[in-house]
C-alpha cells in the first residue's frame, strides 16, 4: 500500500463527514421550512375560509332583514334590488307552509295584493308568484314541499354551484329547528362549496317561518390563496437549496482544521521518510562493507559518523516542521539577541577547510529561539554543502555571515543562484544537489512564521547570498496568529 493509498482513507472519511454534515443541515432546514410553510399555508387558507363565511353570513343577515310580513303575507320585494342578492353568492329563500297558516296568507307584495294582482278574497284558491321569485312556477311549485314542507320562494342569479335541493332544504330545516345560524362545507358535484343557513321569523307571532340559505364557491376567492401556496412552496425549495449550499460551505469551513492537520501529518510523514532514507542507506551500506572485512572498519567509521550527524539533523528538521504545523502554543517568540544566536550557531560548525567571516551588529528581535537557531543552522549547512570555492582542490568553503538589524545574511562562493530560482529551491525535496531540499523550505516557513521573508541574490565576485529577514518586535505573534 502506497502513502497515497494510506492518505486516501482519512480523506474519504473527512469527505464523508462533510457530506453527512451538509445532509444534516439541509434536512434540519427542510423540516423547519416545511413546518413553517404548512403553518403559513394553513393559516392563510383558514383566514380566506373565515373571510368567505363572514361575507356569506353578512349576506344572509341582510337578506333575512329584508323579509317582512304584512296582512297580504310574506314580502320579498326588498331582495330584488339589494346588492346582497346580486353578488357572486347564490341566495335561496325557503318558506315553511306548515307555519304560516292558510294559503290565503301566502307570498305577496307590499300593496296588499298577491303577486297575481288579486285581492285577498281571491287568494284562497289561487296560486301566487312571490315578488322577486326566480323561475316560472308559483309558490309551492318551484320546489314543492319536500321533507318538512319547505318551498323555495326566491333564488338569486343562476345556480353556478351544483348543490342539491335536498342539501339546501336540509340546511334550512336545521337552521329553523335549532333556531341557529348554520355554516357548513357541503358537496357540490366533484368539489366542495360553502353554505350558510339563517332562519327568519314572522313579524307578529315571532315564529320561525323560513330560512335564507347562501351558497358560496370557495374557488372564486381561493385563487389568491393558491398563488400564495405556490409562492411559499417555491420559496421553501429555493431556501432549502440555499441551505444545502450554505451547509456545504459551513461544514467545509468547520472541517478546515481537520484538513490542515491531515495535510500537516502527511507532510511530516513524507519529510521523515524522505530525509531518513539517505542517511540510513549510507549507514547500512557502510556497515555491510565493514562486515565483509572488519579490518576496514576504521575507514568506514567517519562515514558512519557523518551519516549519524546527518540523521540527527534530519530528525531535528522534521520535528521543527512539526512544531510549525502544530498549534500556536508551540510557538514562543521572546526578545532575542540575534547576533549572539548567530555567533553560537557559527561556533558549532565542524572544523575543516572553512573560511568564516563574521560581521555581527548588535540586534534584538522578537523570535522563537529554537526555530531561529534551526533556520540559521540550515542556512550555514546549505552554504557548506553548495558554497565550496570553485577551483579549490581541497574543497574549502568561504562563508560570509553578517547580522544587521533584523536580517541575517549568509553568503558563499558557490555556483550562485538567481533571485527567480529561489521559489523553486525553497520547495520541499527540491535541491541543487547533495541535499534533500528540506532545509531552505524550512527556513522559508520559519521566516513566514516570524512575519519575515527569505530572499536570495548574487554575491559580488561569485556565489550567492541568502537573507533571512525576521519581523520587527511584536510582529511575529501577529504573523503566527494569522496563520493558525
Q: Which of 187, 178, 183, 217 is nearest to 197 (CA)?
A: 183
Q: Which residue has the higher pLDDT, 259 or 75?
A: 75
Q: How many other CB atoms are found less than 10 A from the CB of residue 426? A: 20
1-15, 149-163, 425-439 — most confident range: 149-163
Query: CA-CA distances (angstroms) from residue 248 to 209, 241, 295?
Result: 70, 11, 68
Q: What value does the mean pLDDT of the chain take? A: 76
Q: Which residues pair with 260 in a beta bridge?
A: none
Q: Work out the pLDDT band at 274, boundaries 50, 70, 90.
A: low
Q: How far apart are CA 289 and CA 277, in angstroms?
A: 18
Task: Work out the widest C-alpha separation in the chain, in whole angstroms.
Answer: 157
Burial of 359 (0-12, 13-18, 19+ CB in 10 A): exposed
- Residue 350, pLDDT > 90, answer no
Strands (E), 129-281: 150-155, 182-188, 191-201, 208-216
Region 26-37: what's the mean pLDDT?
Answer: 92
- Residue 429, pLDDT > 70, answer no
Cell output for 399: 562563508
151-160, 281-290, 315-324 — most confident range: 151-160
Q: How far apart are CA 467 and CA 409, in angstroms?
A: 4
Q: Which residue has the higher pLDDT, 416 or 478?
A: 416
pTM of the model as a whole? 0.46
Return the pLDDT at 179.
93
Cell output for 422: 529561489
Q: Work out the pLDDT band at 114, boundaries 50, 70, 90.
A: very low
Report the SS3 class of residue 86: coil
Return the pLDDT at 127.
31
Cell output for 348: 558549532
Q: How far apart are CA 138 and CA 147, in angstroms?
A: 19
Return the pLDDT at 7.
53
- Residue 120, pLDDT > 60, answer no
Return the pLDDT at 321.
64
Q: Which residues pair with 196 in a beta bridge?
A: 183, 214
Q: Which of 416, 419, 422 is nearest to 462 (CA)?
A: 416
CB-CB contact of 198 with 181 (8 Å): yes
Q: Which of 225, 239, 228, 226 is nearest to 34 (CA)?
A: 239
Q: Work out the pLDDT band at 410, boundaries 50, 70, 90.
A: very high
- Residue 258, pLDDT > 90, answer no
- Residue 431, pLDDT > 50, answer no
Report the SS3 class of residue 415: coil
Q: Which of 337, 330, 323 is nearest to 403 (CA)?
A: 337
Angle between helices 223-254 and 3-65 (to 10 degrees): 160
Angle between helices 256-292 and 223-254 (to 10 degrees): 30
pLDDT tens profile 211-227: 999 998 887 777 788 88
Q: HSE on the CB side for 322, CA within 13 Å? A: 13
Q: Work out the pLDDT band at 368, boundaries 50, 70, 90.
A: confident
Q: How many other CB atoms are found less than 10 A from the CB of residue 377? A: 20
Cell output for 211: 330560512
Region 29-36: what's the mean pLDDT?
Answer: 92
- Residue 423, pLDDT > 70, answer no
Q: Which residue has the higher pLDDT, 395 or 23?
A: 23
Region 169-192: what's the mean pLDDT?
Answer: 91
- Residue 72, pLDDT > 70, answer yes
Return the pLDDT at 418.
65
Q: How far apart are CA 134 and CA 92, in angstroms?
A: 10
Query: H/E element holding 366?
Result: strand 364-367
Q: How far apart are CA 467 and CA 457, in angstroms?
A: 8
CB-CB contact of 457 with 465 (8 Å): yes
Report the SS3 class of residue 352: coil
Residue with cell 330560512: 211
Q: Which letter does DSSP use for residue 107 in this model?
A: B
Return the pLDDT at 360.
92
CA 48 to chain centre: 33
Q: How far apart are CA 483 and CA 479, in angstroms?
A: 7
Q: Which letter does DSSP use for residue 130 in this model?
A: -
Q: Which of 185, 240, 199, 324 is nearest to 25 (CA)?
A: 240
- Residue 108, pLDDT > 50, answer no
Cell output for 461: 565576485
First-last CA distance in the chain:
32
Q: Which letter does DSSP use for residue 463 in this model?
A: S
CA torsion through residues 143, 149, 153, 156, sign? negative
Q: Which of 385, 396, 376 is nearest to 442 (CA)?
A: 376
Query: H/E element holding 48?
Result: helix 3-65
Q: How far apart are CA 464 and CA 322, in angstroms?
A: 29
Q: Which residue has the higher pLDDT, 45 or 385?
A: 45
Amino acid at each position: 500500500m502506497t502513502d497515497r493509498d494510506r492518505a486516501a482513507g482519512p480523506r474519504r472519511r473527512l469527505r464523508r463527514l462533510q457530506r453527512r454534515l451538509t445532509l444534516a443541515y439541509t434536512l434540519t432546514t427542510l423540516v423547519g421550512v416545511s413546518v413553517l410553510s404548512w403553518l403559513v399555508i394553513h393559516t392563510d387558507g383558514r383566514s380566506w375560509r373565515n373571510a368567505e363565511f363572514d361575507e356569506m353570513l353578512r349576506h344572509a343577515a341582510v337578506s333575512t332583514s329584508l323579509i317582512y310580513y304584512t296582512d297580504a303575507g310574506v314580502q320579498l320585494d326588498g331582495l330584488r334590488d339589494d346588492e346582497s342578492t346580486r353578488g357572486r353568492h347564490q341566495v335561496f329563500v325557503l318558506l315553511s307552509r306548515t307555519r304560516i297558516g292558510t294559503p290565503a296568507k301566502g307570498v305577496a307584495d307590499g300593496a296588499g295584493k298577491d303577486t297575481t294582482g288579486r285581492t285577498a278574497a281571491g287568494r284562497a284558491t289561487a296560486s301566487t308568484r312571490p315578488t322577486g321569485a326566480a323561475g316560472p312556477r308559483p309558490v309551492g311549485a318551484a320546489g314543492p314541499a319536500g321533507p318538512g314542507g319547505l318551498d323555495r320562494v326566491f333564488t338569486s342569479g343562476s345556480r353556478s354551484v351544483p348543490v342539491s335541493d335536498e342539501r339546501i332544504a336540509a340546511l334550512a330545516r336545521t337552521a329553523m329547528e335549532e333556531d341557529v345560524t348554520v355554516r357548513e362545507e357541503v358537496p357540490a358535484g366533484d368539489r366542495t362549496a360553502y353554505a350558510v343557513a339563517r332562519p327568519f321569523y314572522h313579524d307578529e307571532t315571532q315564529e320561525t317561518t323560513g330560512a335564507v340559505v347562501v351558497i358560496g364557491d370557495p374557488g372564486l376567492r381561493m385563487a389568491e390563496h393558491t398563488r400564495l401556496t405556490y409562492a411559499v412552496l417555491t420559496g421553501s425549495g429555493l431556501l432549502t437549496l440555499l441551505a444545502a449550499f450554505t451547509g456545504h460551505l459551513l461544514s467545509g469551513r468547520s472541517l478546515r482544521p481537520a484538513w490542515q492537520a491531515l495535510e500537516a501529518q502527511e507532510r511530516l510523514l513524507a519529510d521523515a521518510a524522505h530525509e531518513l532514507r539517505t542517511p540510513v542507506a549510507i549507514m547500512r551500506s557502510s556497515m555491510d562493507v565493514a562486515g565483509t572485512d572488519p579490518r576496514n572498519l576504521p575507514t568506514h567509521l567517519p562515514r558512519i559518523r557523518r551519516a549519524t550527524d546527518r540523521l540527527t539533523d534530519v530528525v531535528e528538521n522534521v520535528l521543527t516542521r512539526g512544531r510549525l504545523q502544530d498549534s500556536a502554543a508551540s510557538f514562543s517568540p521572546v526578545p532575542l539577541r540575534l547576533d549572539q544566536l548567530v555567533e553560537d550557531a557559527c561556533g558549532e560548525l565542524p572544523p575543516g577547510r572553512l573560511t568564516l567571516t563574521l560581521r555581527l551588529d548588535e540586534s534584538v528581535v522578537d523570535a522563537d529561539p529554537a526555530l531561529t537557531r534551526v533556520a540559521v543552522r540550515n542556512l550555514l549547512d546549505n552554504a557548506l554543502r553548495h558554497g565550496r570555492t570553485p577551483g579549490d582542490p581541497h574543497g574549502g568553503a568561504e562563508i560570509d555571515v553578517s547580522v544587521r538589524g533584523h536580517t541575517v545574511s549568509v553568503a558563499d562562493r558557490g555556483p550562485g543562484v538567481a533571485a527567480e530560482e529561489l521559489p523553486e529551491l525553497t520547495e520541499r525535496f527540491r535541491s541543487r544537489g547533495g541535499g534533500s531540499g528540506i532545509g531552505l523550505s524550512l527556513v522559508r516557513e520559519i521566516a513566514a512564521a516570524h512575519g519575515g521573508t527569505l530572499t536570495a541574490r548574487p554575491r559580488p565576485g561569485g556565489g550567492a547570498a541568502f537573507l533571512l529577514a525576521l519581523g520587527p518586535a511584536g510582529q511575529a505573534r501577529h504573523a503566527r496568529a494569522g496563520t493558525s
